[in-house]
Amino acid sequence: MRKQSLHYGWIIVITGFFVLFSCLGLARYAYTMLLPAMQEGLGLSYDRMGFIGTANFVGYLLAVILSPHLIRRLRPRALVGAGLFIIAVAMGGIAASQGFASIVVLYTLAGMGGGFANIPMMALVTYWFHSEKRGRAAGLVIAGNGAAIIFAGFVVPRLTALFGLEGWRYGWSLLALITLCITGFAAALLRNDPAEKGLEPLGHPPRVSPSELIPHDRRQNARMMLRLGILYLIFGATFMVFGTFIVATMVREFGFSQEKAGLYWSWVGFFSVFSGVGFGALSDRIGRKRGLALVFIVQTVAYVMAGLKLGGIVLAVSVVLYGLAVFAIPAIMAAAVGDYLGLARAASAFATVTLFFAFGQTIGPATAGIIARITGTFTTAYLIAAALTATGAVLALTLPSTNKT
C-alpha cells in the first residue's frame, strides 16, 4: 500500500470541521446572536423566540428519523451535501421573511438540513479512525461549531450596528452564502470510507475491540443504546437552553449592550474550540464513561452560576465553563457508540441515540421560553438544567467499562 505523508482521514476531519461550522455552528448557534435583533424587529415574545428555536430542533428530529435509511441509500457524502444545500436555501428564505410563521417553517427546514449533514459526517469519523484516535478526531470536527460561534459573535453585532433593525436579515444572507460555498467544498473532498482511497482507518487497530468486551445480543444492544440515549437526551434538553437564551439574558436581565453580549458569546466559541478536542482526547485515555461524567459536572456548575444571578463576573465564569464543555458530549458520544456497539452498528446506532438528543433539544428551549414568560426570567430554567446535568453525571458513571477504563 502506498504510504502518504498525510492520511486522508485528516482531510475528512478538516472538511468535517467546515461542515459542522455551517450545519450547526451557523445554522443553529448564530441564531443566539441574531435573536435580540429579530425579536425587536419582528416584535417576538419570549415564548415565540423559544418556539422558533424549537422548530429547528423538530426539523433536526425528523432528519434523525430519516437519516439511517438515507445514509444507506445515498451514502454519507451525498447526504452531507444535500443537507448543507437545504440549510443555505432556508437561511436565504429567513432573511426575506416578514413574520413568525414563515420563519418557523424555514427554520424547521434548516434543522432538517442540519441533521442530514451532521449525522453522516459524525459517522464518517467512526469509519475513518480506529478507537484510539476516534475521540480526538470527533472533537476536531466538532470544533467547527466553536469557530462559527466566534464568527457570529464578532460579525453579527457589526451588521446590527451598520443596518439597525434590518441587520439580522443581512446576517442570515451572509450565513446562507457561506453555507453554499461550504456545500461545494464538502462535495468535492468527502469520501464515504477509507476503501475509496485504498486506505485503512487511521490509528492502530486494537488487539481486542472495546465492543468485544461487552456482550452483544439484540436486547443488550437495545439496553446500551437506551442508556447512551438517556445521557444524550439530558445533554440535548439542557445545553441549548443556555445556548439559545444566554445572550438575551445578558441583554435583557443584566443590561449588557449587544456588543458586550456578543463578546461574551464569542468567548463561548473560543473555549468551545477546545471543548470537543480536549474532552474527546481525554476520553480516549480515561474512558468514555468518566469523560461523560466530567463534562456533565462542568456543565452543572455553569448552569448553577447562571441561575443564581450573582453578578457579571460570575456570569462570565459561567460562560467560560459552558464553552469549555459545550461540544464535548457529542464528541465523546460519537466515539462511545463505536466503542460500545461496534463499527458495523455505528452509523445506525449513532442515529438512534441522536433521536434522544433531538427530542431533548426540541423540548428544552420551548419549555424554558414558557417558564421565562411566566416568571419573567430564565434563572429557573438554568437551575432545572443544572439538576438534570448533575443526574447525567451520576448515570454516566454506571456505564460499563472497556479496556480503556
pLDDT at 393 over 90: yes
Residue 269 burial class via C-beta count within 10 angstroms: exposed 0-12, middle 13-18, buried 19 and up = buried
**What is the rounded CA–CA span in Å between residue 386 and residue 403?**
31
- Of residues 77 and 272, which shows the higher confidence score? 77
pLDDT at 265 over 80: no
Helices (H) and strands (E) in the chain, counts: 13, 0
pTM: 0.75
- Of residues 240 and 85, which shows the higher confidence score? 85
Task: Average the pLDDT over 163-185 and give the result.
Answer: 90
The helix/strand/coil state of 259 is helix
Per-residue pLDDT at 269: 77
Going by C-alpha positions, the residue among 363, 237, 253, 244 that lies closest to residue 310 is: 253
Per-residue pLDDT at 217: 62
Q: What φ, ψ does residue 202 adopt, rounded to 5°?
A: -75, 140
**What is the rounded CA–CA span in Å between residue 352 and residue 66?**
11
Residues facing residue 129 across a β-bridge = 202
**Count of alpha carbons within 13 Å of 355, Cβ hemisphere only?**
13
Grid coordinates of 233: 437526551
**What is the rounded CA–CA span in Å between residue 228 and residue 336?**
9
**What is the rounded CA–CA span in Å between residue 201 and residue 38?**
45
Going by C-alpha positions, the residue among 386, 326, 333, 332 that lies closest to residue 356 is: 333
In one-letter notation, the amino acid at residue 164 is G
HEC string of 96-162 equals: CCCCHHHHHHHHHHHHHHHHHHHHHHHHHHHHHECHHHHHHHHHHHHHHHHHHHHHHHHHHHHHHHH
Per-residue pLDDT at 213: 47
Per-residue pLDDT at 113: 95
Task: Average the pLDDT over 338-347 and give the result.
Answer: 69
Per-residue pLDDT at 224: 85
Find where cell 462570565 sits: 316
HEC string of 30-46 equals: HHHHHHHHHHHHHCCCH
pLDDT bracket for residue 162 (50, 70, 90):
confident
pLDDT at 404 over 70: no
pLDDT at 405 over 50: no
Grid coordinates of 49: 423566540
Residue 270 burial class via C-beta count within 10 angstroms: exposed 0-12, middle 13-18, buried 19 and up = middle
Q: What φ, ψ does residue 205 adopt, rounded to 5°?
A: -65, 130
| Alpha-carbon separation of residue 83 from 73, 112, 139, 152, 209 (angstroms) | 15, 7, 21, 21, 32
| Alpha-carbon separation of residue 367 from 90, 111, 152 (angstroms) | 25, 18, 25
**What is the rounded CA–CA span in Å between residue 216 and residue 222?**
9
**What is the rounded CA–CA span in Å between residue 273 and residue 281?**
13
Residue 74 burial class via C-beta count within 10 angstroms: exposed 0-12, middle 13-18, buried 19 and up = middle
The most confident of the ranges 18-32, 36-50, 80-94, 150-164 is 80-94
Task: Average the pLDDT over 330-350 and give the result.
Answer: 75
In one-letter notation, the amino acid at residue 16 is G
pLDDT at 85 over 70: yes
What does the pLDDT look like over 203-260, one tens digit per residue? 776 654 554 445 556 777 778 888 999 999 999 999 888 887 888 788 878 888 877 8
Give 86's contacts (C-beta < 8 A, 6+ positions apart). 109, 110, 112, 113, 116
When the pLDDT of each residue in the chain is averaged and rounded to a whole number, the result is 84
**What is the rounded CA–CA span in Å between residue 246 and residue 31?**
12
Task: Average the pLDDT over 312-335 and give the result.
Answer: 87
Residue 398 burial class via C-beta count within 10 angstroms: exposed 0-12, middle 13-18, buried 19 and up = exposed
What does the pLDDT look like over 186-197, one tens digit per residue? 999 999 988 888
Share of the chain above pLDDT 90, in %: 29
Share of the chain above pLDDT 70, in %: 92
Yes or no: say if 244 and 367 are a contact pair by the CB < 8 Å rule. no
pLDDT bracket for residue 294 (50, 70, 90):
very high
Q: What φ, ψ does residue 129 adopt, rounded to 5°?
A: -135, 135
Per-residue pLDDT at 1: 42
Residues facing residue 202 across a β-bridge = 129
